[in-house]
């Protein structure tokens, strides 16, 4: 995105190797909050944009749980 190699990004994020970056790129693992924020600063973007697919999955899951909670609340009030 910014033209950095994995080695340069690892150095900028203060990581010892590129292994973790590779795992993040391939969806094997997700960065912790601090590293996610560092990536956002580095790539000058928002978390939503950096993790758009994951955000969409979380959104759908939370909406379903909200609907269940609302249904349970309604049942208990009836």
> What is this structure's pTM?
0.74
pLDDT (0 to 100) of residue 1: 64
pLDDT (0 to 100) of residue 78: 65
**Cα–Cα distance between 44 and 55 in angstroms, integer?**
18
Helix (H) or strand (E) holding 24: helix 19-25
The tens digit of pLDDT for each residue in 61-78 reads 999 999 999 988 777 876
Domain edges within the chain: 1-45, 48-78
**Cα–Cα distance between 46 and 44 in angstroms, integer?**
7
pLDDT (0 to 100) of residue 29: 94
As a whole number of angstroms, the longest Cα–Cα distance in the chain is 60
Low-confidence spans in the chain with pLDDT less than 70:
1, 78
pLDDT (0 to 100) of residue 72: 83
């Amino acid at each position: 995105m910014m033209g950095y190699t994995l080695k340069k990004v690892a150095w900028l994020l203060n990581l010892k190797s590129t292994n973790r970056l590779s795992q993040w790129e391939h969806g094997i693992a997700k960065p912790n909050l601090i590293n996610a924020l560092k990536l956002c600063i580095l790539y000058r973007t928002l978390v939503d944009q950096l993790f758009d697919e994951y955000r969409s999955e979380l959104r759908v899951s939370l909406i379903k749980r909200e609907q269940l909670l609302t249904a349970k609340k309604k049942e208990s009030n009836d």
